[in-house]
């Protein structure tokens, strides 16, 4: 059996998860009577309510005797740590772009990570049923973006041959005159363009952990790709930590992806993306190998958090009315459990009973707070504070690339407000009564701006941002 490993990447709301639904339906042996729910990969309650993807998830389909492992990734830069890790496990990425909006700030964020790893993106121009669809313009903008991000000639090759899709209707095609009946042209394209994953099953085992999970029965789970060899239940392994230290472990369970199900297996071979259990202290980036002589994989680096908040015990007059877990010990235990799987998060437990929690951005932290609230925790949180860095004695702060679309006539107030917040306008274009403006803004200048922006534009404006770099 041959393996193809791909990740679906895109800006938020460009149709990644809907596209995955249709790919699952096109799998060999898919039972139409059973069917799948809409946006099946968004299984978390908050994902379904917010209509966004928060956690990277693995699935797989069988197509013409081959296994295609698919990773659905979040579109928000807040959950970028989810994307950075899984890109190491795949052979290519499927870049989904809206046929009208084109590439957006967070498209740039995930695309840069993919190009840096040497991946060759497959371009899917989605939502071709929009009356305002402009595929040629989108391809031109993507070309500019690829060049700006330093893409090689080989990485630009697939741009000349994009796939067009209406994911909601389950249709894809490659040329204008092609029949538009189902999604299989995209799968055929994946089989043609994505290199088959090397699967030398006879070599010593080498696997790298890219994601973590937790199961009440199996304990901590490591999710990753087998690069070489075969892994078996009961096998003794050597785990190499990110600092080079080695320790022994034993595999108690192996789970492989079959559609939306995780199926127990006795063994798995190189090229596949699997989940293992039995190593209670496994962590992202660690190498699981057959013996101590197998060279470790390079560690996976994750961008640092840019925002922090204080989590503390609720000491207001209304304490104890909302939740059942109210003590600092209970809050600490829950944060320690979160650190096991949420690697983009950092917590400082040394500040007494106030815990300093650092994350990628407001949404990253708000999802954690809401999850804890639903689990019955009651706590107070402080105002978000931007994390400053010091390099060579110079104070550095995080900067964001901000893209704004507003109806013509109200852009003046938006520009004035972001000017007060130390924002610098880098580009402005007016098309069909819509003004598109790009800004370079300090992260601290964006705190609290989104609600103000909604009021200012009467809900008609679109705002998206992504972390750029640290500046003086």
Kindly list the domain boundaries of the chain, sorted by start residue: 3-193, 206-289, 307-386, 389-471
Q: What pLDDT does residue 468 have?
A: 79
Q: What pLDDT does residue 250 have?
A: 92
Q: What pLDDT does residue 82 have?
A: 66
461, 404 Cβ separation under 8 angstroms: yes
Q: What pLDDT does residue 116 have?
A: 86
CA 67 from chain center: how many Å? Answer: 22
CA 182 from chain center: how many Å? Answer: 27
Q: What pLDDT does residue 299 have?
A: 82
Gap between the Cα atoms of 153 and 64, Å rounded: 31
- The CATH class for the domain spanning 307-386 reads alpha beta
Q: What is the pLDDT of residues 446-468, one digit of tens each?
A: 888 888 888 888 888 888 777 77
Gap between the Cα atoms of 396 and 76, Å rounded: 24
Q: What is the pLDDT of residues 419-428, one digit of tens each?
A: 999 999 998 9
Gap between the Cα atoms of 445 and 323, Å rounded: 34
What is the enclosing helix (H) or strand (E) of 38? none
The single-letter DSSP state of residue 167 is: G
Range with the lowest mean pLDDT among 279-293, 315-329, 384-398? 315-329
Distances (CA, A) of 401 to 362, 423, 446: 16, 10, 11
CATH architecture of 389-471: 2-Layer Sandwich (3.30)
Query: What number of helices (H) and strands (E) belong to the chain?
Result: 12, 27
- In this prediction, residue 236 has a pLDDT band, given cuts at 50, 70 and 90, of very high
206-289 CATH, one of 3.40.50.1390, 2.40.170.20, 2.40.50.60, 2.40.30.10: 2.40.30.10
Complete DSSP assignment for 277-331: ES-TT--TT-EEESSTTSPPPPPPP-PPP-EEEEEE---STTTTSS-SB-SHHHH
Q: What is the pLDDT of residues 164-180, one digit of tens each?
A: 999 889 899 988 778 78
Distances (CA, A) of 116 to 9, 56, 152, 156, 385: 15, 20, 10, 13, 30
Distances (CA, A) of 154 to 149, 151, 375, 401: 14, 8, 48, 27
Q: What is the pLDDT of residues 356-385, one digit of tens each?
A: 999 877 888 888 898 899 889 998 998 888
Longest CA–CA separation in the chain, Å:
69
Strand, helix or coil for residue 69: strand
Gap between the Cα atoms of 223 and 219, Å rounded: 13
- In the predicted model, is pLDDT for residue 253 greater than 90? yes
Same-fold call for 307-386 versus 389-471? yes
More confident residue, 32 or 249: 249
Quote the pTM value: 0.77
Q: What pLDDT does residue 45 have?
A: 67
Q: What pLDDT does residue 324 have?
A: 87
38, 21 Cβ separation under 8 angstroms: yes
Q: What pLDDT does residue 52 have?
A: 65
170, 250 Cβ separation under 8 angstroms: no
Distances (CA, A) of 254 to 35, 232, 279: 26, 8, 12
Q: What pLDDT does residue 21 have?
A: 83
Distances (CA, A) of 40 to 59, 69, 93, 436: 10, 16, 20, 33
Gap between the Cα atoms of 17 and 52, Å rounded: 9
**Residue 447 — φ and ψ, nearest 5°?**
-60, 125
Gap between the Cα atoms of 179 and 466, Å rounded: 38
State the average pLDDT over residues 347-359.
85
State the average pLDDT over residues 125-134.
90
CA geometry: angle 30, 96, 195, nearest 5 deg = 70
Residue of 257, 236, 258 whose CA lies nearest to 248: 236
State the average pLDDT over residues 233-248.
90
- In this prediction, residue 206 has a pLDDT band, given cuts at 50, 70 and 90, of very high
Q: What pLDDT does residue 37 have?
A: 62
- The CATH class for the domain spanning 3-193 reads alpha beta
Q: What pLDDT does residue 80 have?
A: 61
- In the predicted model, is pLDDT for residue 44 greater than 70? no
State the average pLDDT over residues 22-38.
69
More confident residue, 361 or 32: 361
Q: What pLDDT does residue 81 have?
A: 63
Q: What pLDDT does residue 259 have?
A: 78
- In this prediction, residue 31 has a pLDDT band, given cuts at 50, 70 and 90, of low
129, 169 Cβ separation under 8 angstroms: yes
């Amino acid at each position: 059996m041959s393996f193809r490993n791909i990740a679906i990447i895109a800006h938020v709301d460009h149709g990644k998860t809907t596209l995955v639904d249709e790919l699952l339906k096109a799998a060999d042996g898919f039972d139409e009577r059973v069917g799948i729910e809409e946006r099946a990969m968004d299984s978390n309650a908050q994902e379904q309510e917010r209509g966004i993807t928060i956690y990277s998830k693995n699935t797989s389909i069988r197509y013409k005797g081959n296994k295609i492992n698919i990773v659905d990734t979040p579109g928000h830069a807040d959950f970028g740590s989810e994307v950075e890790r899984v890109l190491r496990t795949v052979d290519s990425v499927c870049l989904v772009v809206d046929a009208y909006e084109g590439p957006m700030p967070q498209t740039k964020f995930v695309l840069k990570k993919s190009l840096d790893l040497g991946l060759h993106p497959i371009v899917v121009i989605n939502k071709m049923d929009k009356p305002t669809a402009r595929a040629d313009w989108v391809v031109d903008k993507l070309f500019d973006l690829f060049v700006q991000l330093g893409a090689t000639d080989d990485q630009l090759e697939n741009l000349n041959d994009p796939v067009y899709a209406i994911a909601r209707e389950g249709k894809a095609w490659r040329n204008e005159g092609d029949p538009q009946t189902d999604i299989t042209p995209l799968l055929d394209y994946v089989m043609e363009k994505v290199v088959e994953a090397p699967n030398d099953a006879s070599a010593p085992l080498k696997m790298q952990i890219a994601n973590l999970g937790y199961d009440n029965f199996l304990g901590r789970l490591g999710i990753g790709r087998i690069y070489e060899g075969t892994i078996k239940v009961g096998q003794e392994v050597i785990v190499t930590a990110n600092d080079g230290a080695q320790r022994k472990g034993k595999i108690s369970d192996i789970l492989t992806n079959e559609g939306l199900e995780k199926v127990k297996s006795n063994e798995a071979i190189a090229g596949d993306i699997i989940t293992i259990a039995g190593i209670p202290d496994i962590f992202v980036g660690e190498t699981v190998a057959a013996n101590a002589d197998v060279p470790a994989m390079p560690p996976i680096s994750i961008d640092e958090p840019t925002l922090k908040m204080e989590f503390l015990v609720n000491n207001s007059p209304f304490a104890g009315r909302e939740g059942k877990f109210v003590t600092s010990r209970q809050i600490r235990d829950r944060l320690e459990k979160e650190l096991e799987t949420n690697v983009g998060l950092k917590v400082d437990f040394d500040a007494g009973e106030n815990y300093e929690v650092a994350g990628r951005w407001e949404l990253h932290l708000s999802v954690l707070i809401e999850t804890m609230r639903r689990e019955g925790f009651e706590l107070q949180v402080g105002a978000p504070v931007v994390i400053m860095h010091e390099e060579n004695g110079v104070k550095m702060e995080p900067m964001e690339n901000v893209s704004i679309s507003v109806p013509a006539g109200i852009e003046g107030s938006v520009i004035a407000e972001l000017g007060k917040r130390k924002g610098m306008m880098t580009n402005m274009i007016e098309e069909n009564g819509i003004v598109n403006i790009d800004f370079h803004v300090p992260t601290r200048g964006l705190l609290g701006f989104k609600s103000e922006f909604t009021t200012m534009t009467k809900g008609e404006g679109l705002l998206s941002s992504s972390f750029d770099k640290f500046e003086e």
